[in-house]
Amino acid sequence: MIKVLIVEDDPMVAQFNQKYIEEIEGFTVVAVAHSGHEALVKVNEYQVDLVLLDVFMPGQNGLKVLEEIRTKQEEIDVIFITAASDAQTIQQALRYGAIDYLIKPFTFERFYQALSAYKQTFRTLKQQPQLNQQELDGLLSNKKIKEARVEPLPKGLTTGTLEVIVEAIEHLKDHPFSTDDVAEKTGISRVSIRKYLKFLTDIGLLGERMTYGTIGRPVYAYLYNEQNRHLLHHYLVDFEK
């Protein structure tokens, strides 16, 4: 397993990134840090192969963290995940040895591609003590990125029904909503809707919390995370048109 440290000052974003990683075989999150200082502490505390690193953080920013990692000659790879899109920051990150750079907001497919390409490179270099030019060219040209694909919809879910449910959620997004709220707007059975809401929660489009009424069983309330709406693109190709 490739051991990952997430460095992100926003707890919700860190949680979404962790969910993304859990969807990709071969990776495990060993720790989460919410500041540059905490990241350096956890690098020493845990065995880490890959750091997912933000630039903008309180105190020590991500570039300084990477600089320190390189100064100490730690055998750790870094992928930046950040809103910093200026050329100077990107250039500095690459000069310090970042292997990839994702600009927020990014798609799950781009995230998947970055980690899949890294996994291929990581395993190749671990397993093969020597490479020929063709093998090395294949790694350096990131061919594996082009081959990576997002997983299809889970079995039993259809694009058409998903589109109907997402359209209903668009009208409910200003407040927490329940399975019953979506059923009322769509006419789809509650059993089916729960499956789709679970899927949307798993990919990070919805947040979920349990609420308790005065009587009866607890009810799940969902909250739409509009920042992650781009995650639907790969499942509803025509939805954005």
Q: Which residues of the chain have pLDDT under 50?
A: 143-149, 238-241
pLDDT given for residue 211 in this prediction = 66
Report which DSSP code applies to 211. E
Digit-coded pLDDT (tens) for 89-122: 999 999 898 999 999 888 777 888 888 888 888 8
Residues 125 and 8 in one domain: yes
Whether 72 and 96 share a structural domain: yes
Q: What is the pTM of this model?
A: 0.59
111 and 41 in a common domain? yes
Q: What is the pLDDT of residue 45?
A: 93
- Whether 102 and 213 map to the same domain: the answer is no
- Quick one: 90 and 199 in the same domain? no
Domain that residue 73 falls in: 2-143
How far is the CA of 85 from the CAs of 59, 90, 105, 154, 228, in angstroms?
A: 20, 7, 11, 34, 19
Same-domain check for residues 178 and 121: no
Return all residues near 18 (Cβ < 8 A) that are at least 6 apart.
6, 29, 32
Does a structural domain hold residue 151?
A: no
Residues 75 and 48 in one domain: yes
Domain boundary (88, 110, 143) is at 143
Do 135 and 202 lie in a common domain? no
Domain assignment present for residue 154? The answer is: no
pLDDT given at position 104: 87
Looking at the structure, do residues 81 and 200 belong to the same domain, yes or no?
A: no
Asked whether 63 and 89 are in contact (CB, 8 A), the reply is yes
3-state secondary structure of 231: helix
Q: Based on the structure, what is the number of domains in the chain?
A: 2
190: CATH: 1.10.10.10
Domain end position, chosen among 143, 177, 205? 143
DSSP class of residue 228 equals G
CA distance linking residue 116 with residue 26, whole number of Å: 9
87 and 121 fall within a common domain: yes
In a domain, 36, yes or no: yes
Query: Are 136 and 163 within one domain?
Result: no
- At 111 the pLDDT is 87
Asked if 28 and 83 sit in the same domain, the reply is yes
pLDDT of residue 241: 37
Q: Is residue 25 part of a domain?
A: yes
57 lies in some domain = yes
Residue 150 is assigned to a structural domain of this protein: no
Of 117, 143, 169, the residue that ends a domain is 143
CATH number for the domain including 101?
A: 3.40.50.2300
The predicted pLDDT at position 147 comes to: 45
List b or e across 2-33, with b for residues whose CB sees 16 or more CB atoms inside 10 angstroms: bbbbbbbbeeebbebbeebbebbeebebbbbb
User: What tokens were used for 232?
Assistant: 């639907």
